[in-house]
Structures are given as structure tokens and as C-alpha cells.
Structure 1
Amino acid sequence: MKQYWYSSSPLQAILFLQQLLDFHETAGAMLASQVLGDTYNIPLDPRETSSASSSTSDFNKRLLSSYICKVLGNLQLNLLSKSKVYEDSALSSIFLHNNYNYILKSLEKSELIQLVTVTHRKAESSYKELIKQQIDFYQRSWLKVLEHLTDKNMPVFQPGAKLKDKERQVIKDKFKGFNDGLEELCKIQKGWAIPDKEQRDFIRQSQKKIVSDAYRAFLQRCANISFTKNPEKYLKYRPEEVEEMIEKLFDTSA
């Protein structure tokens, strides 16, 4: 059974904020009454009434915008706290990514974003940055796989020279480490879910390119090196097969 790694907090908070949006004038006036008290200085000259009313409306809107920003700020702290229950830091990042993305899309869809930007002009870009940050954190989970494809500990090859047993073993260990790490991550992360198709496809494509490029480069370096009598044991996957495995991450159809 797929788990979407959503918290109920954003759902409840967005519902509450959407209700405020429906009654924004009343909500703004109530906030103003708490700030200023119940006594308003209404001008006696009718010619001043229009400008005073407009000023009051703008003031109330700013108060409501500020209040909504505080709700969103507390919601973010709540999500950060809940994300710590996941021992896997990559899963924690996916959890935060899903929730931040949900909040941003909900704000945009309901036009709440216009009200938020009254006092927080960069609200939209801030959420986009949070989402990008979590994607970056998630991608770090692949470093333990990619490290096997680097030149670290790789022997220096001389054309025509025969490899020593130790040198052959280094290459074997690198292939085995990559294969085992790839299989483990794909098995685990296939059970995670990213409901937003656009985000899911973006993360898959980004990860495919990162891993595939590194794997192809490693295969190229080892192409003319005889390090084993059983190459099929270590060259288990073609680059296209690696890409297919990554393409199945976050498979919500299963």
C-alpha cells in the first residue's frame, strides 16, 4: 500500500485559511478590533469617508495577511518537527517536499497567495526555494551509490600492463558497491510516493541523469580493462536498465 507522506496539519491549516479568505473582510475587521479596540475614529465630513474607509480596508488586509503568515510560519515549524520522526533523512526530505509543495499549490489555487504577499512579497519564491532545498537534500541519499563510481582508490592503469590482484579487486568492489546500493535504494524508494506528477517526473529525470551520466563515465573508464573472468557478475546493468529502475521510483500506480 502506497504512503503519500502527508501530514494532516497542512490540510487542516489550508482549510482554515480558505475559510478566512471567504470572509476576509469580517476576519480583518475582527483582527483590527483586537489591535485598536472597538472605538474607531470615523470622520464626520462625508467627503473624508471614502478615503478613511479605504485606509481602514487596507489596514485590515495587512493585519489579516500578517496573521496568515504567522499561521504558515507555525505550520512550517510543525512540519519540521514531524519530519524528525523519520530515521531516513531522504524520506524526511520527501515528506517536507510533499507538504511544502501542497501548501504552495493550495495557496496559488485558492488565491490566498495574493493575500499573503501583502506583507510577505516573496512568499511564493520562498516556498519554491524550500521545495528545491528538499530535493537537494533527497539527492544526497544517492551519494553513497555514486561514490563507487568515482576515481577514488582507482588504480593507475598503464597501457598493456597486467593488473595486480589488489587492483582487480578494487574495480570488482566498486561495481558490487554500486549494484548493491542501486538495488537497495530503488527497493526502498519505490515504496515512497510523490503525488504531484510534475514534481515526481522532475525528480526522476534529474536523478536519472545524475546516476546515468556517472555510470556511463565509469563504464567507459573500465571498458578496456580486464579485471575479471566473469564480467556478467559485475556488469549486471546496462545504463538503460539503471534508468528504467530509477524511472520506477515513487511509483504511485503500484
Structure 2
Amino acid sequence: MGESAVSIFCELESSIRADAGRQPVPGGAVHPLTRYVMNYLKYTCEFNSTLEQVFRQHRRRDDDGGNPFAAQLTDVMELLNTNLEGKSRLYKDPALSNIFLMNNGRYMLQKIRGSPETNAMLGETWARKQSTNLRQYHKNYQRETWNRVLTLLRDDRVLTVKGHVQKPLVKERFKQFNSAMDEIHKTQGAWVVSDEQLQSELRVSIAAVVVPAYRSFLGRFAQSFSAGRQSEKYIKLSGEDLEGIIEDLFDGNPSSMSRRR
């Protein structure tokens, strides 16, 4: 029976390696493999004391006197992480790749912290490493999506020369910004972040950077346009509109600014 238990975990490792998956999960959502493996580990950890004895008797390597079952769980988690990193490369958009990794990484972390037995097996070191990875995915997403938007809202000593606003360039910047926001709203509104805390963290971090920059840009250059049709042609969004767009992200519902208004 002990050898069979060890063999079952060998089969689990093999199934994770074999799950190549050529089609990305729509919207960067949690992958079925992640759900399967995490639920599998949660249930096996309910028998952790028995399985520790089993793996100690039938272990296939030297674990330096540590818990061989905990070492086995760590191996499985590393395999799963490697598999998910491979799957993230199926997305053409690097920002969506990072949303996918965030979704799956957060799901894994929540599952482990929600199970005292699994948490005890993997330990705080694993949880800290996972949290560090999640922060990096978040930074990568922000860079891929929002750095280019913020670049449009900078003067860079181009929009004003010797105190004079370069109106054609300002017009072009507003057009580019409107186009960028429309594209982000259409695409990222269809992306999925089902964990409400993660969804809120993403939206808050985006708004904290982008909204003040846009309000400042508006305050500086809105008066360059005459009131009425010219102003409406280039200034499509108020600060409140921009906040609303950010609140629509990651809901899994594709939309556009025109439909929203």
C-alpha cells in the first residue's frame, strides 16, 4: 500500500508534466489543472501524518532528515508552477500572461492558506516565495499595460516650448490616449480576475497611478481647446470617466467606451 501511495504521486507528477495544453484559458482565468492539483493536495494533506510515514519508508531520495511528504508536496508545486509558466506563454499579450500567472498563483496561495494541514506541510517559506512572485507579476502587468499610457500624459518638453503650448502635438496626444483607453477597455474588460481581493488590488493600483496623471494633463492642456465641438472632439474622458473604465476591467465582459457612454 505504501508503494502504491508513492506511485500515485509519481503518476500525479507525470500528469502535470504531460498537460501541455495548446489552447490558453480564455481571459487568463484559473486553469483547470491548477484547480485539480490544489484540490488533490488539500485532500491528501488530511492524511499527512500517515503519508509522512509512508514516504519515509518508501522515499526515493535523501531528504536530510526532513519531512519526505512535505518535500514531495514542494516538488509537485514546483512542477505546477513550471507548467503554468509554460502555459502563460500561449498568450500573445504579455500583460494577459501576467494576469494568468497572477490568477493561478493567487488561487494556489489561497488554497494553501485555507487548509491548515497543507499550510503546515509547505511552510511559510513557500508562501513568502509565492507572494514575491505575485508581486512581480503585478509589476510586470503594470509595466506592460500602463507605462505606455503614462508616457502619453507626460510633457517631455515637447508639448510646451518656451511657455507656448504646441497645440497640434497636444491634439495628437489626446487622440492617442483616447484610442489607448478604448483598446484597453475592450480587451481587458474581457479578462477575468475572479478573486475579488486581487481584482480590487489591481484596480486600485491602476487608478492610483493613471487617474492623477490624467487629471494633471487635463488641468494643464484642456484650456488649449475652444469650448464646444473642438473640446469634445479631443477630450473624450473626464477623470470620473477614467475611474469608471478602470472599475470595468477584469469583469470578463468585453465592452467599449462608446457602448459604456
TM over 0.5: yes
**CA deviation digits over 1:165-206, x for unaligned, max 9?**
xx2211111110101001110110000110111110111111
Change (3 A) 1:34 1:177: same
Match of 2:250 in 1: 250
Q: 1:127 aligns with which of 126, 130, 140?
A: 130
CA contact (8 A) 1:90 1:137 kept: yes
Match of 1:79 in 2: 84
CA distance in 2, matches of 1:105, 1:30: 27
Give the gaps of 5 or more residues in structure 2.
Answer: 1-25, 255-261
Counterparts in 2 of 1:84-99, with a 5 A limit?
84-99=89-104
CA distance in 1, matches of 2:28, 2:59: 41
Q: 1:113 aligns with which of 113, 119, 135?
A: 119
Residue 142 (structure 1) aligned with residue 146 (structure 2):
yes
CA contact (8 A) 1:212 1:242 kept: yes
Where 2:92 maps in the other structure, the secondary structure is coil
Match of 2:194 in 1: 195
Where 1:230 maps in the other structure, the secondary structure is helix
CA distance in 2, matches of 1:100, 1:207: 20
Deviation of 1:227 (Å): 7.9
The one-letter amino acid of 1:221's match is R
Deviation of 1:99 (Å): 0.3
The one-letter amino acid of 1:146's match is L
Residue 12 (structure 1) aligned with residue 36 (structure 2):
yes
Deviation of 1:148 (Å): 0.9
Residue 236 (structure 1) aligned with residue 260 (structure 2):
no
Residue 151 (structure 1) aligned with residue 155 (structure 2):
yes
CA contact (8 A) 1:4 1:195 kept: no
CA distance in 1, matches of 2:106, 2:89: 18
CA contact (8 A) 2:48 2:69 kept: yes
Change (3 A) 1:180 1:135: same
Aligned positions, number? 223
The one-letter amino acid of 2:200's match is D
**CA deviation digits over 1:72-112, x for unaligned, max 9?**
11110000000000000111111000000000000011121
28-37 or 4-13: bigger deviation = 28-37
Match of 2:14 in 1: none
Match of 1:53 in 2: none
CA distance in 1, matches of 2:207, 2:201: 10
CA distance in 1, matches of 2:30, 2:196: 15
Deviation of 1:16 (Å): 2.2
TM-score, scaled relative to structure 2: 0.78
Give the gaps of 5 or more residues in structure 1.
Answer: 38-58
The one-letter amino acid of 2:246's match is I
Deviation of 1:123 (Å): 1.5
Where 2:161 maps in the other structure, the secondary structure is coil
CA distance in 1, matches of 2:60, 2:139: 45
Larger-Rg structure: 1
Deviation of 1:216 (Å): 0.9
Identity across aligned pairs (percent)? 28
Where 1:237 maps in the other structure, the secondary structure is coil
CA distance in 2, matches of 1:248, 1:36: 51
Residue 215 (structure 1) aligned with residue 228 (structure 2):
no
CA distance in 1, matches of 2:222, 2:40: 60
108-117 or 98-107: bigger deviation = 108-117
Deviation of 1:31 (Å): 1.1
TM-score, scaled relative to structure 1: 0.80
CA distance in 2, matches of 1:224, 1:249: 30
